[in-house]
Amino acid sequence: MPAEYTTFVGLYDTFMFWSIIVGAIVFVWMFYAVLRFRKGMVDESTLEKLEPGVFPKERENFKLEMAWFIIPAILIGYLCIVSWNSLYEDWGNSPSDDEAFVVEAIATQWNWEFKYTEPIIVEESSEGLLYPVNIGVSDGRIAISSGSAQVNLTVKWSNEPASGEFNITDGEGHVDTIIDLQEILEITVKDEEGNVVHEYTRYAAGTGESGQVYVPCGKEIKLKMTSERVGDADAVLHAFFLPEWAVKEDVVPNLETILYFTPQETGTYDVVCAEYCGMKHAYMTAQITVVSSNICGGEA
Ligand SMILES: [Cu+2]
């Protein structure tokens, strides 16, 4: 079931409502007719003798005929318009690369690989932490502050091939070192007991992981998708399907297709392949994690 805020929820409700109304009319009428006019319920001598191929003109009812033409036509027209609106909203207005957070998605047999075209920072504090952990990174320094001089923290960082460790004792600390911002930077902050209290990962443009992608909340996400050959495995048709946002788009060999959506809640959601692509099609899954940003609709 799509997330509450997507246009598809309203569309689903509208179609479900009218399907039930039409279905109820048809089935009630059908059961009435089946039971009321079954053999033995009608005195056959009173029935008109209809001849095959001859329409009983005297029984014609022009108004009734127009009604069963016009009423369904209005309903179908209305449903077309509501469907068109949601299609346009979700597929009609492709955001430009500047407006959106762009991720390259590469489908292979049988894997999803994602590459960022701009850096993304994924941060998580352990639950119930009484002090905030703020991390600032530039190409020459990692600075951390806890806002509380009472806590002693150990900070471990790694930024291939370099790594290091330093402590915070009076609410803040930093290390001056060359950080390669083109590589993944991972920082783990531990308290005195050795528990991890905060984790920070910065994925640079060009880096990524297979089977996992992070996107910022509240921003339009644009996926540029291609299907690629790996070893002997051909580039074949796949389809990126994200049930949570009710969006799905084919991934086609030798063609770049795009898909876009705006997540408004943080969380981790499943991605599946929705186009049969060979033996391990069913296992071709991935996860998309929406990380909070300051323009997130829900929790920021
Ligand atoms: Cu597939």
User: Do both 238 and 109 map to the same domain?
Assistant: yes
User: Domain containing 244 — which CATH number?
Assistant: 2.60.40.420
Contacts of 98 (CB under 8 A, 6+ apart): none
Position 296 in a domain: no
User: Do both 110 and 211 map to the same domain?
Assistant: yes
User: Do both 216 and 270 map to the same domain?
Assistant: yes
User: Do both 219 and 279 map to the same domain?
Assistant: yes
To the question of pTM greater than 0.75 for the whole model, the response is no
Ramachandran angles phi, psi of 80, nearest 5°: -65, -40
Question: Treating both helix axes as pointing N-terminal to C-terminal, what angle do 7-36 and 62-87 enclose, rounded to 10 degrees?
Answer: 160
Distance 107 CA to ligand 1 centre (A): 7
Maximum Cα–Cα distance across the chain: 104
CA angle 141, 145, 148 (to 5 degrees): 160
Give whole-number Cα distances, 151 to 9, 124, 291, in Å: 47, 18, 27
CB 82 within 8 A of CB 14: yes
Match 């068109």 to its residue by tokens.
Answer: 84
Candidates 131, 129, 144; CA nearest to 195 is 129
Position 36 in a domain: yes
Range of the domain at 183: 120-203
User: Domain containing 169 — which CATH number?
Assistant: 2.60.40.10
Position 1 in a domain: no
State which of 92, 109, 143 marks the end of a domain: 92
State which of 156, 173, 203 marks the end of a domain: 203
User: Do both 254 and 108 map to the same domain?
Assistant: yes
State which of 203, 234, 265 marks the end of a domain: 203
Distance 106 CA to ligand 1 centre (A): 11
Distance 237 CA to ligand 1 centre (A): 7
Q: What gap in Å lies between CA 52 and CA 106, rounded to an integer?
A: 63
Distance 97 CA to ligand 1 centre (A): 26
Q: How many C-beta atoms lie closer than 10 Å to residue 266's C-beta?
A: 18
Distance 248 CA to ligand 1 centre (A): 12
User: Do both 113 and 223 map to the same domain?
Assistant: yes
Distance 240 CA to ligand 1 centre (A): 8
User: Do both 109 and 140 map to the same domain?
Assistant: no
The number of distinct structural domains making up the chain is 3
User: Do both 159 and 196 map to the same domain?
Assistant: yes
Position 297 in a domain: no
Match 């955001």 to its residue by tokens.
Answer: 95
Distance 69 CA to ligand 1 centre (A): 43
Q: pLDDT tens for the chain, 300 residues: list them.
A: 567 777 777 788 889 999 999 999 999 999 999 999 888 888 888 777 788 888 878 888 999 999 999 999 999 999 999 888 777 776 677 888 888 999 999 999 889 999 999 888 888 888 878 888 888 888 888 888 887 777 788 888 988 888 888 888 887 888 888 888 888 999 998 888 888 888 989 998 888 888 999 999 888 899 999 999 888 878 899 999 988 887 889 999 999 999 888 888 888 999 999 999 989 999 999 999 998 876 665 443
Residues in the chain: 300
Position 298 in a domain: no
Q: How many C-beta atoms lie closer than 10 Å to residue 123's C-beta?
A: 15
Position 300 in a domain: no
User: Do both 139 and 187 map to the same domain?
Assistant: yes
Position 150 in a domain: yes
User: Do both 183 and 138 map to the same domain?
Assistant: yes
Position 299 in a domain: no
